[in-house]
Amino acid sequence: MNKTMTLKDYSRDMRIARGPVDIPFLLITLLLLSIGVIMVLSSSYASAYYDLTKETGGNATFYFTRQLGFAALGVVAMFLASRMPMSFYKRFSFLVLLAAVALLLAVLIVGTESNGAKRWIMIAGVSVQPSEIAKIGVILYFSVLICRYKNLMGTFKYGIMPFCIILAIIVGLLALEPHLSASIIIISIGAMMMFVGGARLFWFVGGMGIVTVFLVVAINVLQYSADRITAWRDPFADASDTGYQIIQSLYAIGSGGLFGLGLGQSRQKYLYLPEEHNDFIFSVICEELGLIGAFLILVLFAMLIIRGYWLAMHSRDRYSFLVCTGITSLLAIQVILNVAVCTNLIPATGISLPLFSYGGTALLMQMAQMGIILSVSRDIPTTKTVKKPKPKAQR
């Protein structure tokens, strides 16, 4: 990559003929986004109506209108991201990572506290969660490093050390908030990219040991983490406190049955299930749309993820492949972990369901990431039928 590349050069790159975006990936993304906005309305209007003490002011459509606005902005962000060439993301990847680290530092100083954690910062009147920026920052810059050290990824000095230093800084800042779920996701996505990039499997054994020690320390130091482990093992041991949320989630899922109670007919959303429009929106989906509806939504997610990996496998260059693989894996990890939490397969970790859970920063970043994948798809060469010249008639 030419380090003297300017914005004028990017403008020239954008004028170079590129193919259309991948229509299947685009349509599935928009379909999931539309269903997600509808489910935010269905799951949130009861709590928004009864909440007279906070910013909702008893407006039943408060969360829906905000989510609808962020969804519209997200579509614009996706379109703009799909227009930018991959050389643009490669050039500015370090700045994205640096901005994420700076915001994580700022959160510790001037961040907004909620439920005993500082995870948000107000910028121009908008609440921003820097951990969402850190996720894409890790993907973009790790892809640059892997391309740079492609022949040295099997060594510790180049294939392990720089990546671990970056992860240690980000995870260390997240631990101070504290934000254990974001730490788990970033460690997972970082390890996945190192593995895809060619790091030796031997180093991952030691890395798993370090991560295990980190989790054990976090569980013992952070009381809320220990409580979540206890609630996961036996929710009914403290049904009115630590186990309350997961019990209500299981009630919602079980009440839905095969066909569900019907859209808008959930009972658990009436102030029984906490975070019904956020981390536990999948439980409301199961209650209202039933097993069949929830299964179809998971099928759509599976189709989106499979299509994302297909685009990665057919991408034009190594950097595009790594970025597309990283974003698709991030989507897959969050979907799997969110569903696992709602069904009590793993302890509650505060992981949202992509394109569904309420949250402006997360939705904007997720749509921008979908736009980056669409940008990769525009560079995939298409097979065109070449017409052979007709042989001249012999005289």
pLDDT > 70 fraction of the chain, expressed in percent and rounded: 86
Q: Which strand ranges, in their side-by-side order, compose the sheet holding 112-114?
A: 112-114, 117-123, 126-128
Residue 272 above 50 pLDDT?
A: yes
The per-residue pLDDT for range 134-145, each reduced to its tens digit, is 999 999 999 999
Q: How confident is the model over 330-335, as a mean pLDDT?
A: 96
Grouping H, G, I as helix, E, B as strand and the rest as coil, residue 123 is strand
Q: Indicate if the alpha-carbon torsion angle 351, 353, 359, 363 is positive or negative.
A: positive
Residue 193 above 70 pLDDT?
A: yes
pLDDT of 52 reads 60
Residue bearing the bigger pLDDT, 289 or 230: 289
What is the pLDDT confidence band of residue 386, given thresholds at 50, 70 and 90? very low
317 is written with which tokens? 């260059």
Residue 21 above 90 pLDDT?
A: yes
pLDDT of 1 reads 43
Q: How confident is the model over 217-226, as a mean pLDDT?
A: 63
Distance (Å, whole) CA 14 – CA 130: 29
Residue 212 above 80 pLDDT?
A: no
pLDDT of 381 reads 80
E strands along 82-224, which residues?
112-114, 117-123, 126-128
Residue 146 falls inside a structural domain: yes
Residues in contact with 64: Cβ distance below 8 Å, sequence separation at least 6, in sequence order: 37, 40, 41, 44, 45
| Number of folded domains that form the chain | 1
Tell me the three-class secondary structure of 242-293, residue by residue. CCHHHHHHHHHHHHHCCCCCCCCCCCCCCCCCCCCCCCCHHHHHHHHHHHHH
Any long-range contacts for 116-125 (C-beta under 8 Å, 24+ apart)? 116/224, 117/177, 117/178, 117/179, 118/177, 119/177, 119/179, 119/182
Residue 119 falls inside a structural domain: yes
Residues in contact with 161: Cβ distance below 8 Å, sequence separation at least 6, in sequence order: none
Residues in contact with 50: Cβ distance below 8 Å, sequence separation at least 6, in sequence order: 58, 271
Residue 264 above 60 pLDDT?
A: yes
Residue 12 falls inside a structural domain: no
Q: Nearest-CA neighbor of 1 among 134, 143, 97?
A: 143
pLDDT > 90 fraction of the chain, expressed in percent and rounded: 57
- Average pLDDT taken over every residue of the chain: 86
What is the pLDDT confidence band of residue 2, given thresholds at 50, 70 and 90? very low
CA-based end-to-end distance of the chain: 56
pLDDT of 236 reads 85
Residue 309 falls inside a structural domain: yes
Residue 137 falls inside a structural domain: yes
Residue 41 falls inside a structural domain: yes
Residue 307 falls inside a structural domain: yes
CA atoms lying within 13 Å on the CB side of residue 137: 20
The per-residue pLDDT for range 117-134, each reduced to its tens digit, is 778 787 766 778 899 999
Residue 390 falls inside a structural domain: no
The H or E element that residue 78 is part of is helix 62-83
Q: How confident is the model over 309-327, as a mean pLDDT?
A: 95
pLDDT of 379 reads 93
Q: Quote the domain boundaries for residue 44.
A: 20-378
